[in-house]
Amino acid sequence: MTFIDLLMLGLGEALTPANLSFCLLGALLGTLIGVLPGIGPTATIAVLLPITFYLPPLAGIIMLAGIYYGAQYGGSTTAVLVNLPGEASAVVTTLDGYQMAQQGRAGAALAVAALGSFFAGTVATFAIALAGPSLSRFALSFGPAEYVSLMVFGLLAATILASGPVLKAVGMILVGLLLGMVGTDAETGAERLTFGAIELFDGIDFIVIAIGLFGFSEIIANLERSGSAGVTLAPLTRLWPTREDFRRSWPAVLRGTGLGTLLGLLPGGGATLASFSAYSLEKKVSRHPEAFGTGVVEGVAAPEAANNAAAQSSFIPLLTLGIPSNNMMAMMLSAFMIHGITPGPTVLTNQPEIFWGLVASMWIGNLLLVIINLPMIGIWVKLLTVPYRLLYPAILLFCCIGVYSMNNRIFDVVLAAGFGLLGYAFRKARCEPGPLLLGFVLGPLLEANLRRAMLITQGDPGIFVERPISLVMLVATVILLALMILPSFRRSREEAFQEEEA
Amino acid sequence: MPAPGIARGNRPDLFSALLFAGLGTLGLILGRGLEAGHLAQMGPGFLPRVVSVLLIGVGLAVGLPALRRPAQAIDQVRLRPVAVITLSIVVFAYVATHLGFVLASLWLILAGSLADPGGRWRQILPLAVGLTAASALLFVYGLGVQIPLWPF
């Protein structure tokens, strides 16, 4: 089949009334949680994962993907209008977006953000469509040794590119790996680390950990941060940007899209890193870097394009190699697994309708988001006035139902409460929970492939350096480690994340 | 050279070192009966042991330098949200098993609301009733989640 045929196949799948409505539903939900501070896409998808079990595979995955990229759009609305990032990747948008709103140009900022995001989403969707097939063919030649090296590289790169101290992130990955080993060993049937509890023989469910860490402990943390002052809305004026805005923002959107698409591919990349990097890039190429932070349109256009491009392109490693690159993709991986689909190179050959349907739905979803966001902005703004004390009991209930409905087991709810406490403890220790989830998801894959590789060579670890692809990944891993030890690299990484803290 | 007497120790880092080393030790204790096997034929205990030892190592690597760093306190713990949220979830689980979803859900929302002292009953009561009814309709009838609604 030619490229066009495949795209048509995808469009045909994505445009069925059912799939189209789930795409719309996902985009709406994503915008909603992007707008509402206090609940992120990770927790939302964790809650909805068990429910997608009742849907056909493609519909469920389309909806969850819509939530993820929809949240990138919604997050910018609050960033501009109330100086509150609804989502981590919208933090930099507050810098110039809110200033523009203060100058009475909120409409222009929102329109530039939405149009820039749409452009970036379109480009990234095409990048998936173009890169997917060739990367999949490449990945089909992978043996267990290549997968082990790829995962080691991925896990390490994910910690280094993420913010926060590297050593703590490595610790969190290890905790995740250890949690992934709880349950019955797949090869020997031995029962591991279960405290003898029958409920743990099948291992801990991904949903339990995700809701505990990202749902319950987030609610507790939000409640602790009391005194969240009432929101003051910036006035919303005419929506259409001026000709000058367009002239200044299109090169920024192009740069943001390119950078975002590339960073989304990297393990640990994802939307947040992309938006921060795009902002600093704009500052570097600008002739007036000192004007940033006072309401320049490039400061909105570039990060908004970049976070959306990255949100989309981070699907590439998952869909082609079967390796999630950040915790959102770890969620998507388990969404696929629920439906009995193992993402990776074989999906493209065996179930092309899933891959192409998802790709096509992403483009349609981006189009829907422009419609949802621009004309309907007034409705979303009203939602901002719902106080958190009325919001969190609902989130609490949905989290409990979500965990329960996974296995119809109340034990899971109690276990999730325990992970809520653990997550709270890690927050107090200033450890980010993201890498834990990644380690938990990749752990079993890593172990199975490592055992297989060692079985093939009868215990000779030389296989990892004899096979060229594996060797390249290991060399890349060593280079990354060496970079971390270099003081100058460490300093510039710390500087890069300083802006994030501010 | 800092003057003697100035407090040392980065508490958040020390706390995370404690968490890592503690979980690593727990992994070693729980996995002590598992067969390690050897490289060519790894037993179920091989990786748990490797990961646990690495975790203890990371704990030490985070903790030891933190002892010498300038003092930094852990953010204040406010017991009310931690205790109220955790307790309301655990009791929800118990009530849902024995008394059904409706009572459990009402409990969860009413008790959970106590985590925020600013709550007003005039808003929270209708919220509890409305959310319970809506979730019963959506999840139990609509999506067929297997959970009894009533105690009888």
Burial A416-433 (b: 16+ CB within 10 A, else e): bbebbbbbbbbbbbbbbb
Question: Which chain B residues have a beta carbon less than 8 Å from that of A390?
Answer: 123-124, 127
Whether B44 sits inside 8 A of A193 (CB atoms) is no
Counting beta carbons within 10 angstroms of the beta carbon of residue A499, is it exposed (0 to 12), middle (13 to 18) or buried (19 or more)? middle
Amino acid A222: pLDDT: 84
Whether A450 sits inside 8 A of B13 (CB atoms) is no
Amino acid A492: pLDDT: 65
Contact A305, A90 (CB under 8 A): no
Contact A210, A437 (CB under 8 A): yes
Amino acid B74: pLDDT: 82
Whether B52 sits inside 8 A of A178 (CB atoms) is yes
Amino acid B107: pLDDT: 94
Amino acid found at B89: I
Amino acid B1: pLDDT: 43
Using a CB cutoff of 8 Å and minimum separation of 24, what contacts does A169-173 make? A169/A431, A169/A432, A169/A435, A170/A435, A170/B58, A171/A431, A171/B16, A171/B20, A171/B55, A171/B58, A171/B59, A171/B62, A172/A426, A172/A431, A172/A432, A172/A433, A172/A434, A172/A435, A172/A436, A172/A439, A173/A435, A173/A436, A173/A438, A173/A439
The label of the residue with tokens 């939307």 reads A271
The neighbour count for residue B34, using CB atoms within 10 Å, is 21
DSSP string, A347-383: HHHH-HHHHHHHHHHHHHHHHHHHHHHTTTHHHHHHH
Contact B147, A408 (CB under 8 A): yes
Whether A220 sits inside 8 A of B85 (CB atoms) is yes
Question: Which chain A residues have a beta carbon less than 8 Å from that of B59?
Answer: 171
Using a CB cutoff of 8 Å and minimum separation of 24, what contacts does B21-24 make? B21/B55, B21/B56, B21/B59, B21/B60, B21/B63, B22/B59, B23/A175, B23/A178, B23/B55, B24/A174, B24/A178, B24/B51, B24/B52, B24/B53, B24/B54, B24/B55, B24/B56, B24/B59
Whether A175 sits inside 8 A of B82 (CB atoms) is no
Whether B108 sits inside 8 A of A400 (CB atoms) is yes
| Backbone torsions φ then ψ of A385, nearest 5 degrees | -85, -5
Each residue's pLDDT expressed in tens, for chain A with a length of 502 residues: 677 888 888 888 889 999 999 999 999 999 888 887 767 788 888 888 887 888 888 999 999 999 988 888 888 888 888 777 767 778 888 888 888 888 888 888 888 998 999 999 999 988 988 888 888 888 888 888 988 998 888 888 877 766 678 888 899 999 999 999 998 887 777 888 878 777 788 888 888 998 898 889 888 988 887 644 455 666 666 667 788 888 888 999 999 999 999 888 877 667 888 888 888 888 888 888 888 888 889 999 999 999 999 988 988 888 888 888 888 888 888 888 888 888 888 888 888 888 999 989 999 999 999 888 888 877 877 777 778 888 889 889 989 998 898 888 899 999 999 999 999 999 999 888 888 988 898 888 888 889 888 888 888 888 888 888 889 889 988 888 787 767 666 666 666 555 544 4
pTM: predicted TM-score of the whole model, two decimal places:
0.84
Give dist(CA A415, CA A400) in Å, integer.
11
The label of the residue with tokens 């325990």 reads A418
Whether A54 sits inside 8 A of B86 (CB atoms) is no
Amino acid A175: pLDDT: 95
Whether A193 sits inside 8 A of B75 (CB atoms) is no
Amino acid B3: pLDDT: 47
Interface test with A, best of B10, B13, B15, B16 (most A CBs within 10 A): B16
In chain A, which residue's Cα lies nearest the Cα of B102?
Answer: A397
In chain A, which residue's Cα lies nearest the Cα of B126?
Answer: A390
Residue length, chain A? 502
Amino acid B130: pLDDT: 92
Residue A104 gets the label, from left (phi > 0), alpha (psi -120 to 50) or beta, of left
CA distances from A221 to A416, A433, A454, A502, B78 (A): 16, 13, 44, 19, 9
CA distances from A439 to A40, A62, A430, B152 (A): 20, 25, 18, 44
Helix axes B79-99, B101-113, angle to 10 degrees: 170
Whether A390 sits inside 8 A of B74 (CB atoms) is no
Continuous segment of H or E residues that includes residue B88 = helix B79-99
The count of CB pairs under 8 A between chains A and B is 192
Amino acid found at A123: V
Give dist(CA A500, CA A91) in Å, integer.
7
Question: Which chain B residues have a beta carbon less than 8 Å from that of A451?
Answer: 42
Amino acid found at A59: A
Considering only the beta carbons, identify the residue of B20, B24, B77 that sits closest to A428.
B77
In chain B, which residue's Cα lies nearest the Cα of A406?
Answer: B145
Amino acid A224: pLDDT: 83
Nearest to B97 by CA among A411, A232, A226: A411
Whether A178 sits inside 8 A of B42 (CB atoms) is no
CA distances from B83 to A324, B15, B86 (A): 34, 20, 5
Residue B4 pLDDT greater than 60, yes or no: no
Question: Which chain A residues have a beta carbon less than 8 Å from that of B15?
Answer: 425, 428-429
- Encoding tokens for residue A378? 């007034």
